[in-house]
Chains A and B, each alone.
Chain A
Amino acid sequence: MIFPRPRLFGAFQVAGVVLFLALPFIFSGLNFRRSPYVLHLLTTVGLYALLSLSLNVILGFAGMFHMGHAAFFAVGAYITANLNLTYGWSILSTLPVAAGGAGLFALVVATPVIHLRGDYLLIVTIGLVEIVKIALVNDVFGLTGGPNGLIRVGRPEIFGYRITTPRDFFYLIWVAVAISALLFNWLENSRFGRALKYIKEDAVAAEGMGINVTAHKLMAFVIGAAWAGMGGTFFASWMRTISPESFTFGESVVMFTIVILGGSGHQKGVILGAFLVMGLPELFRDFQDKRLLAYGAALVAMMIFRPQGLWPPKPTQYKLPAPFDQKYPKKGEPC
């Protein structure tokens, strides 16, 4: 028996995912001229989906207003670039180090501020991402290459297969998104995930029911940061060049927007949010500057009319064990 029934996908969603994953082949079959551009765009969407899913653990599950996620993304990217360029590590072998480094960095910076609430924490995390960016520009410890960043990061290899083309990266990133979504779904529906939900609803009551609020918040922060660090690994090897302007406050705001707009705490909502925030503006490229105006107006309208996001999470579905499943069928379900 699987508990609680996660119901990851219905039939339509399976069809949608299969169709989506077949896109690169459909494009090449149709001799689609703009295929590399579209694949690049979809990979960008995937990267932001990955980063936003990791931010969702902090912002969506635990309800901590964290607007400095690009800082952890940067730590992961620079760790990978350094290990690869200086020590010749393969890209994928840097993945755990990038995760561990970003997680450790999060632990160090979050420990003194984790008790702050709402907007206070928000201000601190904005400061964090700014400090990290300035450190990157100033070539801290001689590891970041200053404003020009680091160039010629290597490509990832899986079982001897070198990942280079836009299609390769499309699959690499989206498989990472799928694995992350699955693991986070399990995490959400566990003792740990439930504790974060209680903390988000009412931290005082959660503490009063025996939940170590500080430890759980810190752990959520570390997990989210570690995942963003792995996002940095993928980003560095995909772009091959990393520089401070990829890790700005603006990037953090984009991730924050994706989570809030898509549906805070809901993985599918967050992925939808990544498509809307990263993809839609590209569709309207022909309108040039006006598209940002329309985009801004759409965000404002959303916050007024649907503050819970486009696709908010539903209450957790539990499948009761016997004999309770017979005794107390859910309303609307046959006995």
Chain B
Amino acid sequence: MLILSLAGLTKTFGGLVAVAGVTLSIDRGRIVGLIGPNGAGKTTVFNLITGSVKPDDGHVFFSGRTINGLKPHQVVALGVARTFQTIRLFPKLTVLDNVLSGRHCRLTSGVIASFLRLPSQRLEEKLVLKRAMEELEFVGLAETWAAPAGSLAYGDQRRLEIARALATEPKLLILDEPAGGMNEEETAELVGLVRRIRDRDVTVFLIEHDMGFVMKVCHHLFVMENGSLIASGAPKEIQSDPRVIEAYLGQDEIET
């Protein structure tokens, strides 16, 4: 069953064509990678899916409906969550507060209920703390719940971003360079984490430059260069695809 498909997605910034007619589909329950050299337009594809950038042309279908044109918060409510390439936590707020931000769209208490501290609001607040702590346990950061997010180590901040995104109860989780800045040990743990996310019936779509990580964790890969898809297939096929080697892997050491 398809969860996400992009049809002829196009975006230009000024004269630069960032994404040129990208068409691809992702099956539910898979871990799919989007790779390519810097400037290939990968992050722009992610921004187009999540609604933070509007496409010039083309469509984004998610779970059977068109979602391009929706605002980012509406896309999140439908079940698409993301992390950012450059970490965008709320650094001054606590770790727990950060995860609670992801729960916002699944809560219902309005301004009046909050003003008057109605019983329904208090119950909801109690339940939300529980749920947020469960997400922190899932990524292994529960002990740090009271610390400011900005005080965490870099790799921990990456995992906190994932916990925050998972708190929105996504069907599709979009990870922009999740292993960026992580050491080898942390990256190895991340492989397990991404698989456990998939086991929760969350489809994962990720950008990553660490080829060892991508080859290990992804079921399927798409390769972009200069805004276009140049290859698609299982990791093994991609590794031996001459176009890909020329465009991308050839410039980089392959670690498998």
Contacts and interface: CB of A to CB of B under 8 A. Distances in A.
B129 A190 contact: no
B145 to A, nearest CB: 6
Given A209-B164, A213-B73, A328-B145, A3 B97 contact: no
Given A191-B104, A198-B101, A315-B94, A208 B84 contact: yes
Most interface-central of B88, B101, B121, B145 (chain A CB within 10 A): B101
Interface in A173-219: 183, 186-187, 190-195, 197-198, 201-202, 204-213, 219
A210 B114 contact: no
Contacts of A327: 142
Given A206-B101, A320-B133, A183 B52 contact: no
Nearest to A333: B146
Nearest to B145: A328
Nearest to B90: A201
B107 A191 contact: yes
B16 interface: no
B114 A192 contact: yes
A210 B73 contact: yes
B120 to A, nearest CB: 12
Given A192-B111, A324-B133, A328-B143, A197 B121 contact: no
A3 B129 contact: yes
Interface string A248-265: 000000000000000000
Contacts of A316: 94, 97
A324 B142 contact: yes
A223 B113 CA distance: 14
Contacts of B11: none
Interface string B71-112: 111001100011010001111111011001110110101110
Given A194-B101, A209-B76, A330-B146, A204 B88 contact: yes
B148 interface: yes
B164 A321 contact: no
Given A190-B125, A193-B114, A198-B90, A204 B52 contact: yes
Main secondary structure of the interface of B (DSSP, over half): helix
A211 B114 contact: no
Contacts of A195: 101, 104
A191 B112 CA distance: 11
A187 B114 contact: yes
B73 A192 contact: no
A211 B73 contact: yes
Interface of B: 50, 52, 71-73, 76-77, 81-82, 84, 88-94, 96-97, 100-102, 104-105, 107, 109-111, 113-117, 121-122, 124-126, 129-130, 133, 142-143, 145-146, 148, 164-165, 168
Given A191-B121, A208-B52, 9 more contacts: A1-B126, A190-B117, A190-B121, A194-B97, A198-B101, A201-B90, A209-B73, A209-B101, A321-B126
10 contacts: A1-B122, A183-B116, A197-B90, A205-B101, A210-B76, A210-B81, A210-B105, A315-B93, A316-B94, A328-B143
Interface of A: 1-4, 183, 186-187, 190-195, 197-198, 201-202, 204-213, 219, 223, 315-316, 318, 320-321, 324, 327-328, 330-331
